[in-house]
Amino acid sequence: MTLESILMTLPYITVVVLFSLGLFTVLFKKNLIKIIMGIALMQNGANLFLVSLAYRRGEYAPIFTSAESTDMVMPTAHALTLTSIVIGVATTALLLSFVIMIKRHYGSINTDDVRRCKE
């Protein structure tokens, strides 16, 4: 295995690490803010995954440059990433406002205290 192929897999290893760290946080942490941080980590992992998929060695970003259009990469994955970032902002804002309201109603943001629905 050459150094280059190791370097090429590095983004995917990072993706797996980020995604599993995020999932771990969501599943096992009790603090709601930490859960949201875990979701943000997973979001970043997914975005990094898409961006690394779209990378082609020796080709250019599809923006205003003087490169030939055949040398440019297909921007579908980039568009998907941007959309996902936009959606991430919306979901994070909504989740955080839920936490603000939960803090006001329950006086706590620990998941152990936030379980009135079960009764």
Partner 1 sequence: MSFDIMLHTPTFILAMPLLFAFLTILVSKFSKKFGEMTFLLGLLLTGFFVFLMSYRIFTDGGWIYTFGAEEVTTRNFFRITFIADGFAALATITIAITAIAAGIYSFGYLEKEMSSDKFYTLFLLTLGGVNGMVLTGDLFNLFVWFEVTSVASCALVAYENYRGRSVEAALKYMVLSTVGGLVVLFSIGLLYGQYGVLNYALLSGSISRTFLDKLALALLLVIFAMKASSVPMHMWAPDAYGEAPGPATPFIAITSLGSLFVLFRLLFGVFGVGIDTAAIGAILVILGVLSMFVGVTMALVQNDLKRLIAYLSVSQMGYMMMAVGVGLATLNTVEYQNFGELAMKGGLFHMINDGVYKALLFLSAVAVIHKTDLRSLNDLGGLAHKMPYTTMFFLVGALSIAGIPPMSGFSSKLLIYQSVYLYNPILAVIALVVSIITFAIMGKVFFNAFLGPDQGLTDGEVSNVMLSGMAILTAVVILFTLFPNLVVSEIVTPAIEALTGGVLP
Partner 2 sequence: MNWKMSRIVRTVTDFLVVPIVIFGIYLILHGHLTPGGGFQGGAVVASATALLIIAYGTLGRHKKDLSTIEAIGLILFISIALLGIGSTMFYNFLAGTGGMFGGTVEGINSGYINTGGTVTLMNLAVGIEVSAALSLILWMMSKETGIMKPEKKTSKTESKEVEN
Site residues, partner 1 (CB under 8 A): 19, 23, 26, 32, 35, 39, 42-43, 45-46, 49-50, 53, 74, 76-77, 79-80, 83-84, 87, 90-91, 94-95, 98-99, 101-102, 105-106, 114-117
CA distance 25 to 98: 18
CA dihedral 115, 88, 21, 1 (to 10 degrees): 160
The minimum distance between CB 3 and partner 1, in angstroms, equals: 23
* CB within 8 Å of 40: residues ≥ 6 apart: 22, 88, 92
Q: Which is nearer to partner 2, 1 or 90 (CB)?
A: 90
